[in-house]
Structure formats: structure tokens, C-alpha cells
Amino acid sequence: MVGPPVDDQVRLWPGTAADGLQTLRYLHIGDCNFRRMDFAHDIYAPPGYPLEAAHELLRQGIGVEFSHLFAINYEHLPTREYLVERSRRRGPLDVISVHIGGNYTRWIVIPHTVRTMQFRVEVGRRLRGHGYWANHALEGAFGRPAARYESVEAYDDFLGTLQDVWPEAEIIVLTPLPRLRPHRRQRPIGDRVSADIRALAERRGLRLVDTAPLVGTDARYRGMSGYHLNRLGGEVVGRELARQIVESTVHRPPSTGNRPVDCRPWTVDLKRASA
């Protein structure tokens, strides 16, 4: 079932920084919800709403240098030591977006391991998302949470660390995506996670992109998994993210040390990405 290696479309994206543009150094932290998934879940799928936000910013003469740190649950977020070392090596940041928490509402039937995830991705590529109805039925009957949600405390500590390490950066927090077909035990967990994140952002004075009023449970904005954003969903969230970035950073002096790259809108080879 394991096919040939697939390039990670996120790592192939250089951002939109170029000579003549105000450039923002942008770091995204979180799980795979920032990827565009028109079909099945794919850990190598292309960037979604960060790419759409970058295109929107580009139309306003602003480029971005993009980087990404992956974390699934709050306890997997990068340590202070790692962030301090990253800051020392790579310098200041202008924008940080953090999107995490959705895994607490994910239901699984078999244990989540590297091999089961690889199998899931390979099957999804071949079926292009068809067959999710059976997966949802199994999860509803026999599933359990992929991770147990206790509290937002670890997330709170992490956001405080980000503010300490990059005090000049604008931090934007996103709530998890609402699930289209939540199990009756998933819904209260999702409501609690999102409510805690909203309260946390307000308490720390951070900007918030609340995904619920933006995409709701409209299937037009989702891939075939019923959770991840497709192209249209990425455009909606990306426009809101770009709006908040502009409002918070447009009057800042540009970062130094920009590297010139191709600033033309980056396109995705969907055939290659989902083959």
C-alpha cells in the first residue's frame, strides 16, 4: 500500500518575499489544519489559508517569509529552549499564527501510530476521499478520543513563552474547525476547547480568528473528510487572516535581512499532491 515518496508541498513553498516589497517574517505553529485538503487527509498536502493570506497580502504590496512548526496537542508544542534557540539562529518575527486543538475532537478506532497514519494517507490518496462514510460510521460506533482534553493551561504557558521570546511579533490564534458530522460525545469537547481558546486569547490580548462564524458547518468549505478546509474554505479563512495581519502590522518597519524569491502567486499541482 505504500507508494513512492511524495514531496511535502508546504516545504516547497518559499513564501512571497521579494525586493521592493515590505516583507513580514511569518511563523505558523500547529497541526495539519493549515493544509489544503480537497480530497482525503494528507500529511503532505499543500498550504491552505496561509497561502491564501499571502496572496491577499501580495496584492497589497506585502510579502511574507513563511516557516512552520508542527504540533498536534498542547503537550507537543515546542519548548522554551527550542524557541529561544530558533530566535537566536533565525532572528525576529513579525507574525505568528497558532492553530491547534482540533485533535481533541478527533475520534479513532485503532491506535494512532506512524504506520497507521501512513496507511491512512496512502489509502486516502488512492480513494481520493471516497469511503469516509464508512470511516465515520465505525468511529461513531467504536471510536474514542485521539487525545484526552484536560485544560488549556499548557497552551496558555506556550503563548506566554511566544510573547517572551518574540515580544514584537503579532500573535494570532485560530480556533479549531467545527466538525461537520460530530459524534454526540465530540460536540461538547469541541465547544469547550474553542471556548477556552477564545477566553485565552482575550485574556492575553491576542488577535483571534474564530473559524466557526467564518466556515461554520458548510460542506462547501471542506474536503471529503468533513473536517479539513478545501480551496474555498482556505480562501475564506485566509482573507480574514490577511485582514488581521494588515491591521496589526502594516505600519511597522519591514524586517531586515529579506531574501529575494519569486513573488508570483504560488500554484499547487493537485494531481501530484494527491496522487
Average pLDDT, the chain: 82
Integer Cα distance of 197 and 149 in angstroms: 13
* Residues 255-267 pLDDT 10s: 544 443 333 334 4
Question: How many independent structural domains does the chain possess?
Answer: 1
So what's the pLDDT on residue 78?
95
| 83, 165 contact by CB (below 8 A) | yes
DSSP the chain: ---S----TTTT---S--TTSEEEEEEEEESGGGB--SSS--TTPPB-HHHHHHHHHHTTTEEEEEEEEE-SSGGGSPPHHHHHHHHHHH---SEEEEE--GGGG-EESS---HHHHHHHHHHHHHHTTTTHHHHHHHHHHH-EESS----SHHHHHHHHHHHHH-TTSEEEEEPPPPPSS--TTHHHHHHHHHHHHHHHHHHHT-EEE-HHHHHTT-GGGB-TTSSSB-HHHHHHHHHHHHHHHHHHHTTSPPPSS------SPP---HHHHH-
- What's the rounded Cα separation, in Å, for the pair 179 and 86? 34
Residue pLDDT, tens place only, 41-93: 777 788 999 999 999 999 999 999 999 999 999 999 999 999 999 999 999 99
Per-residue pLDDT tens digits for 114-140? 566 665 655 555 555 555 555 555 555
Please indicate, yes or no, if residue 269 is contained in any of the structural domains: no
pLDDT digits 0-9 by tens, 165-206: 999 999 999 999 998 877 777 889 999 999 999 999 999 999
Q: Is residue 217 part of a domain?
A: yes
Residue 17 belongs to a domain:
no
Residue 163 in any domain: the answer is yes
pTM listed for this prediction: 0.81
Q: Higher confidence at residue 249 or residue 231?
A: 231
Residue 162 located in a structural domain: yes
User: Which residues sit opposite 139 in a β-bridge?
Assistant: none
What strand order describes the sheet that includes 207-209? 62-70, 22-30, 95-99, 170-174, 207-209
Supply the range of the domain harboring residue 84.
22-252
> What local confidence, expressed as pLDDT, does residue 254 receive?
52
**Going by C-beta distance under 8 Å and a sequence separation of 6 or more, which residues neighbour residue 160?**
204
Amino acid identity of 223? G
CATH number of the domain enclosing 36: 3.40.50.1110
- Is 272 a member of any domain? no
Q: pLDDT tens digits, residue range 22-46?
A: 999 999 999 989 999 887 777 778 8
Spatial contact of 198 and 208, defined as CB atoms under 8 Å apart? yes
Please check whether residue 228 lies inside any domain of the structure: yes
Asked if residue 198 is part of any domain, the answer here is: yes
